[in-house]
């Protein structure tokens, strides 16, 4: 079920009403309702894959209980590996089987050996990468004795399948989300209003910004050989805002929806395109995944401790694995490696934590130096996103070559202007600029309109809400599936 669908617009009020007016007297009933609603939400897409979630839930719940009573370190480690192998086994089969088979065959063909193998027509279960990592964090934390295992199977099932963040995150830690299922929830009006406000902003990001950008990015990327260098730059910039609007919009809707039910999820995006270097960008982009890899992979590998070689090795591992997490394609791996190359100079010169605070905090405008750093970081991100969006590595390299070499031709700029004038128009670029301005003004909040609207009078505040709703109706792009559903 998509957040931006009629189905969800009907589903959410029904669950909300049952949750607060029918099951509100009993915590177990509320948690059971969340489990049922979450399974309906997921099964709406394909009910057959519910069995994976149920099996994964049962395995990790059982492993958690056994870890509590088992003191023998060898057996504890064996239990942890059962959880890891089962969860990553599912993920590996559904997501990477054909990729590894294809590369295995290609590798042998280089030495003159032809291997015949059958590829499987595998459907990737929506959200498998997200809930796999979420449930793994539970087992690992219990193994490390950072978390007490739960005996409440319903609460644990609700934690694994919680529908607002089930298919595209944020990837919650058990230490944050699971205890919230133990506590009685009391309806908080201001919290619910805040949640509705964040949902509205998330819908605007997705329907107006991302879906419109997708139309133009797809046009340019799918016909890249027909376009000039400046038009290809425009296509890459459109994709840069498409993926931000799409994914951060989803996170906003997920966090806002959770708030309606009395839950607090972690912030997943913190205005990453206002970053002054790549290290800051990765502290602000997909925060739940970045911190997951930091805590469960980077630090166990040694982190930034040790010699230069170890730092370089760990940095490349973390970024390449992160790229591979996104999909079974070499383009994602190159995208990850490129970000590692961006990041390394900062790490080796110990400048990776130079920019911790939000840019120009407490000020209206940034300094010239900050603008320069911000533009450089944004440009590097745009270049890396080309690999993320391209069909294959050859397409990405050709796209970048045509883009850079084509910038010297004057006719190319005329083509870009004609495309804007004839196809894109001037209203959407204006909306995009207003969106960037809104994000800038709200950058010290958890989402852009969280506080700026509260500073205004009631009349102006509601005028802003109605303007956003009008924009959703009049300027919404053609409906696109959320990009991160494929991961």
Annotated catalytic residues are 326
Query: Which residues 6+ apart lie within 8 Å of 393 measured at CB?
Result: 330, 331, 334, 387
77: tokens are 């480690």
In the numeric block, the tokens 């990850």 are attached to 336
In the numeric block, the tokens 């944004």 are attached to 378
229: tokens are 């260098």
Buried b (16+ CB within 10 A) or exposed e, 420-455: beeebeeebeebbeebeebbbebbebbbbbbeebee
Q: CB count, 10 Å around CB of 145?
A: 11
Helix, coil or strand: residue 117: coil
**CB distance 240 to 382 below 8 Å:** yes
Query: Which residues 6+ apart lie within 8 Å of 1 measured at CB?
Result: 7, 8, 11, 41, 42, 44, 45
Q: CA angle 195-198-199, nearest 5°?
A: 85
Give the span between the Cα atoms of 451 and 437, in whole angstroms: 14
Query: Which residues 6+ apart lie within 8 Å of 46 measured at CB?
Result: 123, 125, 126
Q: CA angle 26-30-31, nearest 5°?
A: 120
Helices (H), 162-210: 174-177, 189-203
Q: Which of 49, 54, 18 is nearest to 156 (CA)?
A: 54
Residue 93 half-sphere exposure toward CB, CA atoms < 13 A: 7
Give the span between the Cα atoms of 397 and 401, in whole angstroms: 6
Q: Which of 189, 163, 193 is nearest to 177 (CA)?
A: 163
**CB distance 187 to 456 below 8 Å:** no
Helix, coil or strand: residue 478: coil
Give the span between the Cα atoms of 272 and 396, in whole angstroms: 23
């Amino acid at each position: 079920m998509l957040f931006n669908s009629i189905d969800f617009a009907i589903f959410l009020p029904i669950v909300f009403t049952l949750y607060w007016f029918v099951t509100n007297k009993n915590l177990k009933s509320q948690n059971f309702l969340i489990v049922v609603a979450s399974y309906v939400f997921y099964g709406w897409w394909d009910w057959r894959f519910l069995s994976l979630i149920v099996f994964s839930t049962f395995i990790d719940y059982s492993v958690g209980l056994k870890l509590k009573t088992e003191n023998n370190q060898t057996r504890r480690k064996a239990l942890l590996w059962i959880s890891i192998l089962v969860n990553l086994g599912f993920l590996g089969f559904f997501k990477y089987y054909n990729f590894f088979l294809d590369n295995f065959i290609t590798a042998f063909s280089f030495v003159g050996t032809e291997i015949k193998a059958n590829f499987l027509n595998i459907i990737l279960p929506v959200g498998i990468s997200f809930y796999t990592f979420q449930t793994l964090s539970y087992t690992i934390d219990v193994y490390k004795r950072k978390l007490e295992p739960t005996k409440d199977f319903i609460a644990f099932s609700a934690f694994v399948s919680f529908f607002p963040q089930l298919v595209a995150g944020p990837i919650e830690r058990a230490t944050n989300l699971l205890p919230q299922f133990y506590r009685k929830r009391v309806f908080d009006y201001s919290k619910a209003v805040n949640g509705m406000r964040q949902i509205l902003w998330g819908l605007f990001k997705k329907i107006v910004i991302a879906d419109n950008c997708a139309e133009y990015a797809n046009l340019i990327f799918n016909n890249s050989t027909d376009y000039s260098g400046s038009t290809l730059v425009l296509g890459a910039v459109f994709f840069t805002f498409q993926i931000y609007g799409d994914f951060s919009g989803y996170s906003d809707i997920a966090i806002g929806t959770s708030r309606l039910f009395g839950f607090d999820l972690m912030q997943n995006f913190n205005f990453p395109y206002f970053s002054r270097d790549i290290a800051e960008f990765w502290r602000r982009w997909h925060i739940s995944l970045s911190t997951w890899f930091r805590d469960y992979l980077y630090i166990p590998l040694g982190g930034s401790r040790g010699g230069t070689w170890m730092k370089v090795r760990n940095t490349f591992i973390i970024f390449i694995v992160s790229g591979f997490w996104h999909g079974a394609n070499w383009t994602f791996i190159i995208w990850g490696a490129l970000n590692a190359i961006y990041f390394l100079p900062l790490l080796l010169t110990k400048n990776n934590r130079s920019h911790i605070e939000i840019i120009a905090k407490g000020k209206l405008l940034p300094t010239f130096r900050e603008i320069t750093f911000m533009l450089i970081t944004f440009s590097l991100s745009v270049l890396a996103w080309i690999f993320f969006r391209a069909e294959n590595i050859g397409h990405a390299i050709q796209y970048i070559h045509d883009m850079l070499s084509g910038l010297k031709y004057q006719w190319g700029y005329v083509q870009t202007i004609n495309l804007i004038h004839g196809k894109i128009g001037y209203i959407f670029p204006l909306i995009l600029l207003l969106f960037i301005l809104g994000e800038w003004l709200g950058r010290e909040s958890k989402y852009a309109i969280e506080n700026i609207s509260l500073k205004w009078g009631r009349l102006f505040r509601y005028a802003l809400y109605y303007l956003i709703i009008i924009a959703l109706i009049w300027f919404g792009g053609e409906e696109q599936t959320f990009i991160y559903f494929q991961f």
